Amino acid sequence: MAKMTIKDLEVQGKRVLVRVDFNVRVDESGQITDDRRIKAALPTIRDLAEKGGRVILVSHFGRPKGVDDRLRMDQIGLRLQELIGKKVVKVNDCIGEEVKKAVAAMEDGDILLLENVRFYKEETANDPEFARQLAELADLY
């Protein structure tokens, strides 16, 4: 049996949670100095969106001890939007009601970027409840 890849999945109308590596380098002012990791994820993100998937992106950025405004995903979202040429909606959390509402409002082909998962200690502790809350956002992971 051939190994399935993401290209084999039917994603039309489905919420697809994609773990990406957007742990990019930034300078002292918070500006991205190396966007190779964002560029590396573009083919997957573009393919899912073009096939009508509702793309939910989750990543960590740095090693914060709780919420750190310098390590928010805002700059990454803006750079991704520039590179992909399509609107990227960024939410200020990665779990909770605000995120659920944003996911519910998504249409086919939309891209949603969640806030830095490392703002939660449960992320690095591999907490199953935290993982469950992320998984509930999507039909496919």
Determine the average pLDDT of the residues in 111-138: 90
Answer whether 3's CB lies under 8 Å from 48's CB. no
Beta-strand ranges (E) seen in 20-80 are 25-26, 32-34, 54-58
What is residue 125's predicted lDDT score, i.e. its pLDDT?
A: 78
The more confidently predicted of residues 22 and 7 is 22
What is residue 46's predicted lDDT score, i.e. its pLDDT?
A: 97
Structure tokens at 25: 């380098």
Domains and CATH numbers, the chain: 10-135 (3.40.50.1260)
